A = this chain, B = another copy of it.
């Protein structure tokens, strides 16, 4: 590599900004197995923890909480604790989160529109994996 020839040339910013486009930034926020689902579901309005848990099927408590905390720290949702005796908490999208969730809609639509092909693809994918594993 030609870089190795240079005697450690400049490069004064070790902080790599590294954005192909805004996509990198977005992905950093929504990466997490259930995060897109959570955000998208919250478009329906304030949601209690329990509801969310039931909505986002198969998510474990640990991970759900963890994701919620991260999303809150990232400023896309807000946690509301009503300080009631049987705990009562709900989650809302911030304006930022709302716009993000809306940006997810095309993906949702795409999935819906191509549901049939997806079914086929997943079926093939599964049998393909089975062969490979056996």
Contacts and interface: CB of A to CB of B under 8 A. Distances in A.
Contact of A106 (B103, B121, B122): B103
B128 A114 contact: no
A96 B57 CA distance: 28
A60 to B, nearest CB: 16
A22 B111 contact: yes
B108 A106 contact: no
- Tell me the number of copies of this protein: 2
Contacts of A112: 21-22, 25
A36 B21 CA distance: 12
Interface of A: 18-30, 36-37, 40-41, 55-58, 73-75, 96, 99-100, 102-115, 117-118, 121-122, 124-125, 128
16 contacts: A18-B57, A19-B115, A22-B109, A22-B110, A23-B36, A25-B115, A26-B108, A27-B37, A29-B118, A30-B107, A73-B124, A73-B125, A75-B121, A96-B114, A96-B117, A106-B106
